[in-house]
Amino acid sequence: MSTQTDQRPTDDRADDRAADRRSDEPAWLLVTRREVVSRITDKSFLIGTVLMVAMIAGFIGFSAWQDGRTDQVTLAVTPDAAAMGQAVVDDGPEVDDQVEVSLTDVDDRAAAERLLTDDEADAWLHPVDGGWQLTTKSSEDDSLTSVVSAVVRQQVLAENAAGTGVTLEQLEAGSTVDTGFLQGDAEKAAVADAVGFVFVFLFYFAALVFGMQLASSVIEEKQSRIVEIIAAAIPLRHLLAGKVLGNTALALIQVLLYAVVGLVGLSFTSYKSYVPDLSGPAAWFIAFFVAGFVALACLWAVAGSLASRTEDLQATSTPLTMLMLVMFFGGLSLDGRAQVVASYVPPVSAVVMPKRILAGGVAWWEPLLALGLLAAFAALTVWAGERLYRRALLQTGGRVTLRQAWSSAE
C-alpha cells in the first residue's frame, strides 16, 4: 500500500492555517475585526473622514490667514478733521496692528459722501455736535470703529486734561479694569472655551453617528434573521462586545485623527504657544471619551435590539437621543457650581470634566474621581445592556419594551 502525499498548493495550505488560527480566537474579537474592516473599507466612511479632516485643516488655515492679514482702510477727512485723522494713522497700530489706515483729504461733506458712494473711501471721520462721527456707506467696519473710537477718546481726553492743567495719565489714573480668575489662567480663557466647544462637539458627533450606525446594523441583522444564524454559532454577549468594541475603536481612531490635525494646525497660528498646554487636557478628553462612548454604544445596541424594523428605531432611540442632547447643551452652557457638580455625574461628566480641566484650577484627584465614576457607570451600563440586548434581540414579533426585554426568559 502506498502513502499519498498532500499535493494541494502552498497557498491553500496557508489559508487553512490562517483559518485554524482565526478559529482559536475569541468570538468577540472576530466580530470586532469584522466591524472595523467593514467600515474602514467603506467608501462613505473614508470620504466622510477625509472631508472632516479637510474642513478642520481649512478652518484652521483660514483662521491663520485671518490672523496674519492686515486690513487696508481709506479714511476720508475734511479740513476740520485732518488733525484727528492723522492721530488715527499714527496711534492706530497701538490699538490694532492689523488695521492700516490711510487718509484722503476732501474739501467738504459732499466730496466725502461722493467718495463713499463710489467706494473710493471706506469711512468718513468728521466732527458733530458733542463729539465725532464715523460715517460709512452701508455697513460698519468693526475693526476700524474700534481703532477710531480708541484714538479719538485718547485725543479728546488729552485735550480736556490739558485744559484743566493735568496730564492724561493723571486724569486716567485708577480708571482701568483688569480681568482675572480665582481659578485658572485668564489669558487662556478664550482658547479654553473654543477647545472645550470642540471637545463637546466631537463627543456628540461621534456618539450620534456611530451610535446610529451601530443600532442600524443590529436592526438589519435582526430583520433579515441573520442574527439567528449568528446566535447558533457564538454567544450573543460576544456579538454585543464585538460590535461595541469595534465601533469604539473606529470612533477613537477618528477622534484621535481630528485631534492631531487640530493640534498640528494650531501650531501654525498665533495660538501656537498654547499647544503644549492643550496636550494634557486632550489626553484626558480621550480617556473620558472612551469610557463615555462605551456606555452610550451599549445603549445604542439595546435601542437597535428593541426594534424589529428600521422604522421602530426612532421610537426606541428617543430617550438616548434626549440624553445626548442634555450632554451636548449641558457641556456648552453649564458653569459655576452647576458645572462642578455635573463634572462628576455620568455620563455628562464625559464632556464637562474635560472642559473644567481646560479652564484650569482642577485638583489632581478630581479627574481621576470623575473618570472612575464614569467607568463604573459604563460597567453598569454594559451589564444591564447585555441582559436587555440578549433578551430582546431574538424577539421579532414587533417592538419590544424595556420591561418586556428585562423580564423575558433567556
pLDDT tens for each residue of 294-314: 999 999 999 989 988 888 888
pLDDT at 12 over 60: no
- 265-281 tens-digit pLDDT: 888 877 788 888 888 89
Residue 68 has pLDDT above 70, yes or no: no
DSSP conformation class of 348 = T
pLDDT in tens, 21-46: 555 678 889 889 988 998 888 888 88
3-state DSSP assignment of residue 123: strand
Domain residue ranges of the chain, discontinuous segments joined by + = 27-60+185-407, 72-147
Mean pLDDT over the full length of the chain: 84
If phi over 0 gives left and psi between -120 and 50 gives alpha, with beta otherwise, what is residue 165? left
Helices (H), 224-364: 226-233, 236-266, 275-306, 313-333, 336-342, 349-359
Global pTM value = 0.74
Report the alpha-carbon distance of residue 182 to residue 119 in Å, rounded.
49
Q: What pLDDT does 1 receive? A: 44
| 99-105 vs 71-77, strand pairing mode | parallel
| 72-147 placed in CATH 3.30.160.620 | no
pLDDT above 70 coverage of the chain, percent: 88
> At residue 7, does pLDDT exceed 80?
no
Which strands form 123-128's sheet, in the order they lie side by side? Answer: 99-105, 71-77, 123-128, 131-135
**Residue 184, all three cell numbers:** 485658572
Q: How far apart are CA 13 and CA 250, in angstroms?
A: 32
